[in-house]
Structure 1
Amino acid sequence: MAKIFYYYRSKKNIGPITIRLSHKNDIDYFVNTQLFIEKTFWNFNKGIPKTTDDKAKKAKVDLTNLERSILESFNADYNDGIPISKDWLQFKVDLFFKRVTLNSVSDILLDNIQRIIDGASIRRNSKGGIGLSKSRINSYNNLKKLLMSFQKDLKKVMKIKDVNLQFAQEFKTYMKDKGYSNSYLEKKLSDIKTVCLDAQINGIETSIQLPKVTGLKVKNDFIIYLNEDDLVKIKSKEFKSAAHKNAKRWLLLGAMIGQRGNDLLSLTNQNIIYQHGIKLIELVQEKGNKRVVIPFSPEMEDLLKDGFPHRISIQKFNSYLKEICKNAEINEPTIGSLYNKELKRKVVGTYEKWQLISSHDLRRSMASNNYGKMPTPLIMSITGHKTEAMLLRYIGKTSDDFAQQIADYYLRQAALTNKSADELTNEMRIVN
């Protein structure tokens, strides 16, 4: 149980009263209450003001109420896992005496994350509108939990100005030791920098090294998608359950049109339009607010001859996806990350492929299966990637893939002209 003590530690006749917060062996902090009292009115044995003076009586009442307020706040915050620090104690003292308000901008890193979460409904989002998305709020909540664990290991409460190159290195080491993927590490580091820049706008001091603390865009650690052989297996697999039949149609459609899960499952017959005699699916992507039009293919015509599948939640769809892929024997050993309920986070390992499939992988399936067959700008117009570099990073393509693509091009040209690939290569060298 936490305890509060008061001290008069000045050598002068009038001095400030110091408050001490103690709890077990891990918390023992002293701060100045900025309440002053005459030395003659302080009871050094009991650690409280004497009651022989009106000002001393008022000070005793204030200190009694302050003790009650601090202990109530401590019990609530400590049980919620909020780090208790000397700064925390000083803030609570100042809050009690109304020297600050709850709206005052703190320089504590966790406080600034919480401030963003609390103001999520009125913050400007990436679409230019007002209000952060649910997924973005969840991302900040996850960041807060992650940093609470990180601080516990360091036994230190991080301030905004502490986010420097040393912090970045310690954070990366911590994340790697815990088994987090490189991409997740960089995303969280990028989020931390965003929090610091937001605090900077509000007048909080930041490290001069903050611009160097970057959340770099890294190559996807694991490129998970359903290849053409997987899709053939799924298409040929029959299901008795109406729910699985419905989800199977969504799966096949998703692998054709390359949209994110929420955008895919929001489609209805109203998204079908005609332009210049061409039948199209038209939608506005939730992320980025980009308009996308996708022509019907013969396969899509056959799949949607009775209209779109029945709408289901993204949670149910992800669950059905795994069941469908498992029954279709999509079980190739695949490296990826899977959520561990005991550890309450994703763990990298080798799993059967069906275990790793989620709705987002359908978008990557479309891009990966069509890369090298469909012109890259057309794939980008469907997936919504702004640059070719972003698309290639998304599907994990490398210079080796480009070499293969060029070799395939030579072979196709050779077949058309009845010349060997070597002859074509030599001709191109002469031209160049």
Structure 2
Amino acid sequence: MIFFYLLSQKATNFNNYVYLIADVDNKVSYRIKLPLTIAPKDWDPEKQRPGNIYSKKNKELNTLLNKLKFRLAEYIQHKPGISRKEIATEIKKICSEKTTAYPAGSFLFMMSSYIEAKKEGLCLSTYRRYVVFLRMMEKFQGFLGRNMLTEEVDSAMIREFYKFGRLEEYTESTLNRTAEFIKTILNFAERQGIITQVRQLEVPKLKMVKRVLVLEEGEISKISKTTVPTELKRAKDWLLISCYTGQRISDFMRFNSGQLIRIDHKLCISFTQQKTGKEIILPLHPEVLKIMKKYGGAFPQAIDTAVYNAQIKKVAALAGINSPVKMRKRTGFRGKETCAEKWENISSHIGRRSFASNFYGKIPTPLLMQATGHSTEQMFLNYINPVHHSRIVSLGDYFDRIYNEGARS
């Protein structure tokens, strides 16, 4: 069973209709006009879908085109000798559905069930990531042109998934995260009494070069000493606060004087992390206290996240934080690796990474984890920059000192 999409060739300044060519059992081929339209300039004839599948309108169309493929495949396989009229009627029914109901026993049904079961205990960002995995599997099933059952997911299917992902130009890390989520779903299915091939599943091991962007101590000092325009002063102060508290923007931008407490004469801030729900009591660094003094012992006024991200780039540029770094930059609707000056890639999370990286090795790791709220050391170490220039220089200094001491003896 083969499905093929094409756009009507009628010359028009408006949208053209999409047609489906359904090749049923290599015997009968039907050409069916779909109740779906798109501008010719937005259509990719090679991929048989909208060119940019990330604009809102095109995303909806692409999702429906994918759904039609695997829903029709399931419908047709149970109806030998099916007519063109029956297929057209089923297409109309699928296109008119307001919600998506996955067939029981299908892998998409199992994914949807898992996400729904875990929804209440997930933070918003994790829930959204799971939904992205679900949408990717919808696209994959459209690529396969059939509905995928939970029991069918095996190593061969994973290889097909990677083939699809590379054609779509997803990064290897995105494919690996999705493949690991597939294993999670299969384990969930086994707990429901369904026999799967999760133990035989082979997920390619990706060797990634760990790249963590941080502001090193010298760069933080440069920012601190840099004079900035009045409209950037709050952003500069919040950036410094984030580098000395190690918190996410969802937490540090809510800091206020009502959260301050004293423990053994040390001024601390007590708050609950928005993402994890963990209660944190954090002693305030002298540099943070110095900034608060400018605001009468309080914190600067909060800044909108988008404004803050734009402003700290300007602050870092003024401070000369311009060493070349590799970064991913969106080109079209995919990220591409490119080289840019460091200030261009600074965002709100850099303070949290800088805190972890700059104090690692100087302060016991359990104390740092208590400050950042990380549950495991492995998670915490993801924030550590392995190419930390100051540590490399320190190692070189040790080499020189040992060599010179040996030469004198």
Per the TM alignment, residue 72 of structure 1 is displaced from its structure 2 partner at its CA by 8.0
Q: Secondary structure at the match of 1:274?
A: strand
Q: TM-score if structure 2 supplies the norm length? A: 0.67
Q: Does 1:332 align with 2:320?
A: no
Shift of 1:134: 2.3
Deviation, 1:385, is 2.8
Equivalent residue for 2:370, pick from 381, 384, 391: 381
Structure 1: which amino acid aligns with 2:274? E
Q: Distance in 2 between matches of 1:259 and 1:336?
A: 23
- For the pair 1:294 / 2:278, whether they are aligned, the reply is no
Q: Name the counterpart of 1:80.
A: 64
Which runs of structure 2 are paired with 1:30-429 in the superposition (5 Å)?
A: 80-83=64-67, 84-85=69-70, 86-87=73-74, 106-115=104-113, 119=116, 123-124=117-118, 130-175=120-165, 180-202=170-192, 206=196, 208-210=197-199, 212-213=201-202, 221-242=210-231, 244-305=232-293, 306=295, 307-340=298-331, 342=332, 344-397=333-386
Q: Offset at 1:363?
A: 0.9
SS state at 2:211 partner? coil
1:172-216 Cα shifts (integer Å, max 9, x gaps) = 45545655444433322222223333444455553x245645697
Q: In 2 relative to 1, CA 223–77 (structure 1 residues): closer, same or farther, beyond 3 Å?
A: closer
Give the match's secondary structure for 2:247.
Answer: coil
**Counterparts in 2 of 1:325 and 1:170: CA distance versus 1, 3 Å:** farther
Aligned residues: 338
Instruction: Measure the CA separation in 2 of the matches of 1:181 and 1:196.
Output: 23
What's 2:53 paired with? none
**Structure 2: gaps spanning 5 or more residues:** 4-17, 26-33, 37-59, 79-88, 94-98
- Structure 1: 5+ residue runs without aligned partners? 3-21, 31-70, 415-419, 423-432
> Which residue identity lines up with residue 249 of structure 1 in the other structure?
D
CA distance in 2, matches of 1:282, 1:219: 37
The 1:237/1:251 distance shift into structure 2, 3 A limit, reads same
Shift of residue 364, structure 1, vs aligned partner: 0.9
Aligned partners of 1:401, 1:238: CA distance in 2, in Å?
25
- Over 3 Å counting, the alpha-carbon distance change for 1:108 and 1:253 in structure 2 is same
Letter in 1 for 2:122: L
Aligned-residue Cα RMSD (Å) equals 4.3
What is the distance in 2 between the residues matched to 1:313 and 1:258?
19
Secondary structure of 1:289's partner?
A: coil
Please state whether the residue corresponding to 2:344 is helix, strand or coil. Answer: helix
SS, match of residue 271 in structure 2: strand
* Higher relative contact order (CA closer than 8 Å, sequence separation 6+): 2
Contact 1:254/1:264 (8 A) holds in 2: yes
Flag the structure with larger Rg: 1
Residue type at the aligned position of 1:312: I
Closer/same/farther in 2, CA of residues 186 and 232 from structure 1, 3 Å limit: same
- Matches of 1:140 and 1:277 in 2, distance apart? 45
Q: Distance in 1 between matches of 2:100 and 2:141?
A: 23
Partner Cα distance (1:263, 1:336) in 2? 26
CA contact (8 A) 2:66 2:139 kept: no
Residue matched to 1:52? none
Q: Give how far 1:273 is off.
A: 1.1
The residue identity in structure 2 corresponding to 1:106 is A
| TM-score where L is the length of structure 1 | 0.64
Deviation at 1:249, TM superposition (A): 1.4
CA contact (8 A) 1:219 1:394 kept: no
User: 1:21-75 deviations in whole A, cap 9, x for unaligned?
Assistant: x9633x3458xxxxxxxxxxxxxxxxxxxxxxxxxxxxxxxxxxxxxxxx889xx
Whether contact under 8 Å (1:180, 1:347) holds in the other structure is no
